[in-house]
Structure 1
Amino acid sequence: MPDLADLQAALQQAVTGPAPETWGRAGALLAPSPMSPERRLSLYAHGYRARLLDSLRREFPALCALMGSTVFDLFAEGYIEACPPGTPSLHDLGGRFPAWLEQTRPADAGEEAQLPIQLARLERAWSGALRAPGPEGLTPPPPDLLLHPSGRLKLPGTTVLLRLDFDFAPLLAAVAEGNPPPTPQARPTLVAIARSNYRISLHTLSPGRFAWLRALGHDGAPALAAAATAAEGEDPGALLADLVLWLPMAIQAGLVIAD
């Protein structure tokens, strides 16, 4: 008689692996019933996989809209078979999806193959920002903090910086409004995902602002020192003036918090 862990592993393989090849082996572990083990496993597997597919569609709505539901489901089903859930939380289900898309990308695929991979990374970061500890309830830093040499700032867990090869902002806006998704334009784009008042937003950044936020990091740093680091190759005075004017908006958007 298998122990509970072995039974659970066998049933998970049956409902997430290729069917019906795995149903016979798992069916032998089931209690007797008027319905055949294969039929019982088939019903459960289809229902379980449908819930997993629905979860992935909800976490990656822009990617699903861009690919089309039929193509997206083919990729999602392959992912579920290759990377079945390892925890009870559906939030963890899509954690490896972007990496899996990268790993299964054909070796001779062109740069356009990066589009769905980068969009998946963007949407996964968006999903993570919904759950991470954010700026809500914290005392915001003073808007003139950059003028104080000892002032320190950091990124909350809800701020994610991404370097992208495509501009996804019009696509995300169209999908949020229920409109047909436009094809993203291929161009280097620096973005930050941030949360404020429990609302997630996407911010397109200049190279200087992006470098400054990256220099601050999640561990925190002196804001002036981070500005000097970010200004490498640029006019430090111009960048500092831009950051001083932009900081109140960055605080309001939840991009930075006091360290």
Structure 2
Amino acid sequence: MRIVVCVKHVPDVQAERVFGERGFLVRGDDDVLNELDENAVQEAVNLAGDDGEVIALTMGPEDAADGLRRALALGAHRAIHVCDDRAAGSDVLGTARVLAAAIRQLDGETPVDLVVTGMAALDGMTATIPSALAAHLDLPALTLAKTVERDGTTIRITRTMGVNDEVIEADLPAILSVTDQANAVTYPNFKAIMAAKKKPVTQIDLDDLGLGGDLVGAAGAGTRVTNAVERPPRAAGEIITDSGDGGTRLADYILGVMK
């Protein structure tokens, strides 16, 4: 089974988010592999088994290679890094075009059975890349899976929709996105981390994929940041001294906040 797992190198969720003059998110030394993508890599490794291949794929600047190394340490066999300055400023539309083009190229070499993603990237939280990839590649999308089963060439998932669980399935090839409930990530030991340094990472650009700069980056984006303000500092909390009416005062406070 040949699986492509799409991953993203993102700012740490605890770090302050800052936009540059062009409206692009400023990235720094504290960037990490998107936490939800670790579940995607784990699910890909689980489904591939001992005789399958897992290929980690990302689009991003030079330091996005660090995210790929993390994916390799988690069990991916090799990685593809689409690195091109012309892709800077891509939104979901441009990112999906690039990733889909890279997957088509891989599929042309040897068929890709499954594309796996996390449920969302923690920088933008759009959660739309899986559906966008399905549209570009004309494949069924099994999204937000909390359980995943493979039966031959069929993938079956369970996902929670509102208060109900839903079971859906599709024949391969397909797009699969998983939540953090889908599996328990096996974190790499020192040996796995060192072995990841020797696994191949292939860097390609937009020309290799036959994409022009007008289709990706800021030029091809359907959205743009027009304004951003800093998050206000956290205000000091209010201390309620219980003089017998603490419960009532606390309830009144909560009701006031909810108005």
- TM-score, normalised to structure 2's length? 0.27
Bigger strand share: 2
Compare relative contact order (CA 8 Å, sep 6+) and give the higher one, 1 or 2: 2
> Which of the two has higher C-alpha Rg?
1
Structure with the bigger percentage of helix:
1
